[in-house]
Structure formats: structure tokens, C-alpha cells
Amino acid sequence: MREPVLVANGQGFWGDSILGPLRLVREGPLHYLALDYLAEVTMSIMQKLKSRNPDAGYATDFVAMLDRSLPEIAAKGIKVIANAGGVNPSACLEAVLELARKKGLKGLRVGIIEGDDILTRIPQLLAEGEELRNMDNDAPLSSIQEHITSANVYIGAPAVAECLAAGADIVIGGRITDPALVAGPLMHEFGWSGEDYDKMAAATVAGHIVECGAQCTGGNFTAWREVPDMARIGYPIIEASADGSFFITKHEGTGGLIDRRTIVHQLLYEMGDPKRYLGPDCTADFTSAQIEEAGKDRVKISGVKGGPPTDTYKVSISYQDGYKASGQLTVAGPDAVAKARLCADIVFERVAMDGVTFDDEQKLVEILGSGVCHAGVVPEMDPPEVVLRLGVKDRDRKKVDRFGMEIVPLVTSGPPGVTGFAGGRPKATDIIGYWPALLPKGQVTTSVRVEEV
Amino acid sequence: MVKLGEIAQARSGDKGDGSNVGIFAHNAEDYAFLKRELTVERVKRHFAEICLGHVERYEADNLLALNFILHDSLGGGGSASLKTDAQGKTHGLAILEMELER
């Protein structure tokens, strides 16, 4: 057993910078590199790609990142844990194996975790009496069954630990929870039992703090002026001990800032009830964490308490829920706000003249620059120019496309000063509905498979 | 009057069709003030044009923090939202604009 164990997060979300993981590998010591490539809508998009091509449906960014760093990762013995498998972990495995062969990395072991994707099992589960009711509004899943586009169970840390124990240097999963990408390696290294709930809760807190990458190292920080060298912001590293305490730090020489405040910012991110943070592995009590600054860019967390998890897994289901489109124009002053408001009225009046109307809650009018994000909180401004953003949503794709055709004409048939139209007519795109549900744990079995190059 | 941005910091993010707004003080005295004065009613009134649903409040004494859930504040949430700030990323800065009597 080595101690401390260093686990970094190099990818906070789908679309995060490739520099995060590349620099973590290059710029200092590391044992594990955790990478989160998924968001709720991602799974639905990946299922669509997979339906067109059976070898698609995973995060290709992950393979592109490895293409630039795999030899160094292998040489340094860094293990990688990523939920990059999306809805097709086995295709992702093949792509990584092929890359490793191409780079001549003989002996590298790549593992996958399967069992989270229950899309094809939905009819059977419903037939068995599982209702998979929407956790937000209690509607049964059968009400949208024909529109479902993806369904994945949030898998916890034990499956990750199992894959590491089977010898994987690179662990690829589908919908592994973000904290489990960190908790899995800690279980594996320290031999923690899944029933040691205080330790699992500590690992969950650690995973939560780093799961958004640089958002705990000075990114999106209220006192942003205090953050040095934000361009070279360091991504976070957990220095974990077997007793469940850990430090959060970053590599020396990197930009950014870690102190009590940056950590508390991230502890509060996407928080519900801080006493009961629910996950597949435990119920963590975030109010039990003791936080102390322990030097420059170094914060210690200890004393985290937790309890058993619930007997259900959370399931993330997505479904086709209509269409939307939005477009924008720039309106220069004088009287930019008044002219933008007139433009918005004109668009909706013109589509109505053509028989297309929308309810108020299907329409969006934003006059960006006048105080949209903080509407009602700060006084509305009339700046020298504004960006007018218009949008609609509807079940009828044709209506949405018709709306999109009435934005550009404003340049010549509206008030003066309308410009900045780029990107062509906005076209209808799918609204991907999110359907959170619960499934008894007995209904889900995960499996791991490891292959050697 | 004290502006919350002078005594606290905040971060926000999405929770379904709502946002969570976490706000924390820098010392115990300011936290006690927030705990006493930053009520669900005041937060709901502050976000009246943004939050169309109800507001929930949680306390985390160890973080000197309060966590608010602003239900129905994202225009449908996730992919269903047309809003620029579909994830409530800016709601944290918005709460810091609030002024309270002290």
C-alpha cells in the first residue's frame, strides 16, 4: 500500500480543455488520473451516433487526449479512470487498444465496466412491474416509453475498484458517477470495504470537490481578481490517506488558487441537502467535513461521516421532448433596448400572420446587455448596444422552423441599427428531456473485462 | 445596509429545473447574521423575476454556508431551456447583490 495516493481530475465535463489532463501528466507526480466526459444530454447524443454506426457512441475526445499522452502515461505508471465509454464502452476499449498497439505499448491493460446501459432492458423492466417513475413529477415511464433515447444507471466506486483489481491500467466505464472516479481508486489502494461508510463518504466528498476540474482551484471563483495566472490554472489533485482524510492541492508552478474559500465554493456546487448527499455507495454528510488550510494551495479535509446508501440506483433516462430553436441579432443604439423589444414583437407578429403562434412559456425574448441574467436583481440598463436573443420550443418541428425564418428579415424591415446576424437561419433541434428515476439495486449487475495489448 | 457581496461569496449551479445557490460567510459573526436575516422569503423576493417556484434553505454550519434551492428558475432546465443562463451559473453572483439592514 502506498500512502498518500494521488488522484487528479483532468476533465470536469464534456467539452473541458484537453490541456487539463495533458498538463497533469506532464507537470508533476500523479498516481491516478480521473476524467469525466459525460453530461445528462451526452448519453442521448451518443445513442444517436451509435444507432447510425455500431462503433460510435463514446467520447472520442478521450482517445484524442490519449493519442497525445499515452506513452508518457504508461511510462510514468499513471492509471486512468474515465467514464468515456459513454453508451459503447467496448468500442472505446477497441479504439484505445488500437491506439496502444500503434504506439507500441506492449503490456498495457485496458479494462471496461459494463452493465449501466439499460436502454434495451426497459420493456422487460416495465413488464416486470418496475415503474421507473420520474423523481421530479412522479409520472410513470410508460407515459413516454416510445420517446426514450437513452437509459443509464449511475454506477458507483466498487465496479471501478474491481476493474483496477483485475489489473487494468486504464479503466473505461459508461455512466460511472463523478465521485466514483475518485472513490474507486481509493477503495482499491487502501482496501476499503464498501461498508466502511465514513471512508466512502470521505471519498465521495473528495470526488465531489474535484469533479468539475479547475472549479475548485480558482475557476469560477467570486474573488477572481485574487487568482494568479488563470490561463495556466492547475487542475486539482487529491492526496489521500488510508484513514479517509485528504489534502486538495495542485502541481507546483501551475496557476490558480486553492484555499478554504475555493474549496467551499465547490462543496456547495449543485448541492441539495448537505446532510444527505445521496450516491450509489453511501449517504455522505457534507456538514461533517472539517476544513483547514495547510499551506500554500493546500487544504485538508477530515472527519467526514457517512451512512449506508439507499437500496436503489438512480437512473438517468433521456427522451425526445419536442423541438427548439434560437437566434440572435445585435441592435445598436440609440434606444437599443426599445428597438430590440420592437424587433421581438415584430417577429412573433409576423409568424402569427402566417398562422404560427406560441404560448408565452414556449417563447423566449432576452435583451442581452440590459441585465438578463440578473433580471429584477439589478436595474435594467440601456447600453449603447444589445444582443437580442429570440427562441421558441414546440412539439411541432415545422412551427419552430417557421419562426427561425423571420429573424434575418429584421435587418431590412425593422428599426435601424440591426446587425450582427451570423450562422444562417436557426433550425429546429431536438429537446432532450431528462427523466431521473430509481431502480432497485438487485435489477443491475455490472461486469468488468480487461484486455492486454 | 450591507451588500452581501461584501461579507460573503457564492456559487450556483443547476438542479433539474431549479438552481442551487450556495452562499458562505468569511467568519462566524457574518454567518450568524446571514443565518438570521437571509430568510427563504427574502431570497424568493430577491429572485422574484427569476425563480417562479418555491425556495428551500439548508444550513451547513461547518462551511459557514447556507444553500438555497430555487425551484422553477431555469425555464425548463437542461436541454429544454431556451435561456442563456440555462444552468443558473450566474445566480450566485445575483444573491451577492442583495442588501440587508445591519
Domain count, chain B: 1
Q: Is A267 on the interface with B (CB under 8 A)?
A: yes
Task: Name the domain boundary from A259, A275, A310.
Answer: A310
Q: What is the mean pLDDT of residues A106-125?
A: 97
Query: What is the ipTM for the molecules in this complex?
Result: 0.98
Q: What is the pLDDT of residue A284?
A: 98
CB contact under 8 A, B85 and A373: yes
Q: Do B92 and A287 touch (CB under 8 A)?
A: no
Is the pLDDT at A401 greater than 80, yes or no?
A: yes
Least confident of A36-40, A151-155, A194-198, A254-258: A36-40
Residues A271, B84: C-beta atoms closer than 8 Å: no
**Residues of chain A numbered 42-81 and touching chain B (CB < 8 Å):** none
Q: Do B63 and A366 touch (CB under 8 A)?
A: no
Checking DSSP bridges between strand B65-70 and strand B99-100, what pairing results, if any? Answer: unpaired
Contact A311, A438 (CB under 8 A): no
CA A445 to chain B, closest CA, distance in angstroms equals: 27
For residue A61, give the nearest of A17, A99, A103 by alpha carbon: A17
pLDDT tens digits along A208-221 = 999 999 999 999 99
Q: B80–A289: do the CB atoms touch at under 8 Å?
A: no
Q: Is the pTM of this model over 0.90?
A: yes
- Residue A161 in any domain: the answer is yes
Express each pLDDT in B23-75 by its tens digit: 999 999 999 999 999 999 999 999 999 999 999 999 999 999 999 999 999 99
3-state secondary structure at position A112: strand
Cβ neighbours of A389 in B, within 8 Å = 84
H or E segment and range at residue A172: strand A170-172
The single-letter code of the amino acid at A34 is A
Q: Note whether residue A376 is domain-resident.
A: yes
Question: What domain range is A406 assigned to?
Answer: 317-435
CATH number at residue A420: 3.30.70.2750
Contacts of B22 in chain A (CB under 8 A): 265, 267-269, 271
Q: How far apart are CA A43 and CA A319, in angstroms?
A: 11
Last residue of a domain, one of A276, A310, A344: A310
Instruction: Assess whether pLDDT exceeds 80 at residue A40.
Output: no
pLDDT for B78 equals 82
Q: Which residues of B touch A375 (CB under 8 A)?
A: 49-50
- For cell 510514468, name the residue: A76
Say if residue A218 is in the same domain as residue A347: no
Q: Which of B52, B58, B82 to mutate to test the interface with A (most CBs of A within 10 A)?
A: B82
Report d(CA A288, CA A269) in Å as an integer: 17
**How near does any CA of chain B get to the CA of A45, in Å?**
12
**Last residue of some domain: A310, A341, A372?**
A310
- Find the residue in B nearest to A286 (Cα): B60
> Domain check: are A188 and A290 in the same one?
yes
Which residues does chain B have within 8 Å of residue A393's beta carbon, measured at their own beta carbons? 76, 80, 82
Is A139 within a domain?
no
Distance CA A83, CA A87 (A): 10
User: In chain B, which residues have their Cβ closer than 8 Å to the Cβ of A220?
Assistant: 11, 89
Residues A381, A257 share a domain: no
CATH number of the domain to which B7 belongs: 3.30.70
pLDDT of A304 higher than 80:
yes
- Which residue do the cell numbers 444530454 mark? A41
Domain that residue B23 falls in: 2-100
- Structurally, chain A folds into a number of domains equal to 2
B62 to A40: CB separation less than 8 angstroms, yes or no = no
In terms of domains, do A194 and A264 share one?
Answer: yes
Indicate whether A348 and A422 sit together in one domain.
yes
Nearest to A151 by CA among A131, A167, A175: A175
* CA torsion through residues A157, A158, A160, A165, sign: positive
| Strand ranges across the sheet with A283-285 | A277-278, A283-285, A305-307
Q: Which residue has the cell 459557514?
A: B64
Tell me whether residues A268 and B24 touch, CB distance under 8 A: yes
Within 8 A of B76 by CB-CB distance, chain A residues are: 393
Q: Which residues of A touch B50 (CB under 8 A)?
A: 375-377
Question: Cα–Cα distance between A234 and A119 in angstroms, integer?
Answer: 38
Alpha helix ranges (H) inside A249-382: 260-267, 336-353
Residue A266 to residue B80, Cβ atoms within 8 A: no
Nearest CA in chain B to A44: B79
H-type helices in A254-323, by residue range?
260-267
Inform me whether the pLDDT recorded for A38 exceeds 80. Answer: yes
CB-CB under 8 Å, A326 with B79: no
Q: In a 3-state reduction of DSSP, which class is residue B80? A: helix
Look over chain A and give the mean of its residue pLDDT values, rounded to a whole number.
96
Cell numbers representing residue B5 in the block = 457581496
- Look up residue A419 and give its three cell numbers: 446587425
CB atoms within 10 A of CB B77: 23
Look at residue A420 in the predicted model and tell me its pLDDT: 87
Asked if B93 and A272 come within 8 Å (Cβ–Cβ), the reply is no
Does residue A349 sit in the same domain as residue A400? Answer: yes
A to B CB pairs, distance under 8 Å? 137
Chain B interface includes A270 (CB < 8 A): yes
Is A79 within a domain? yes
Of B5, B83, B90, the CB nearest to A374: B90
Does residue A301 belong to the interface with chain B, where contact is any CB pair within 8 Å?
A: no
Chain A residues touching B63 at Cβ < 8 A: 264, 267-268, 274, 286-287, 289, 291
The answer to whether residues A299 and A321 belong to one domain is: no
Contact A179, A279 (CB under 8 A): yes
| Chain B partners within 8 Å of A391 (Cβ) | 82
Query: Which pLDDT score, from 0 to 100, does residue A422 have?
Result: 72
The whole-number average pLDDT for the span A1-5 is 92
Specify whether A332 is located in the same domain as A302: no
pLDDT digits 0-9 by tens, A63-97: 999 999 999 999 999 999 999 999 999 999 999 99
Task: Give me A351's grid cell.
Answer: 409568424
Distance CA A391, CA A403 (A): 8
**Residues A340, A297 share a domain:** no
Which residue in B11, B61, B82 is closest to A269 by CB distance?
B11
Assigned domain for A121 exists: no
Measured CA to CA, the distance from residue A316 to residue A437 in angstroms comes to 7
Q: How confident is the model at residue A150 (pLDDT cuts 50, 70, 90)?
A: very high
Contact state of A261 with B94 under an 8 Å Cβ cutoff: no
Pick from B50, B65, B84: CB nearest A376? B50
Q: Establish how many alpha carbons lie within 13 A of residue A37's alpha carbon, considering only the half-sphere containing its beta carbon.
A: 29
Three-state SS at A19 = helix
Q: What band does B79 get if pLDDT is binned at 50, 70 and 90?
A: confident
Judge contact between B1 and B99, C-beta under 8 A: yes
CB contact under 8 A, B26 and A223: no
* One domain for residues A302 and A335: no
Q: Are A104 and A187 in the same domain? A: yes
Note whether A328 and A306 are same-domain residues. Answer: no
Q: Distances in Å between the alpha carbon of B92 and those of A120, A165, B13, B54?
A: 40, 42, 8, 17
CA A90 – CA A87 distance, rounded (Å): 9
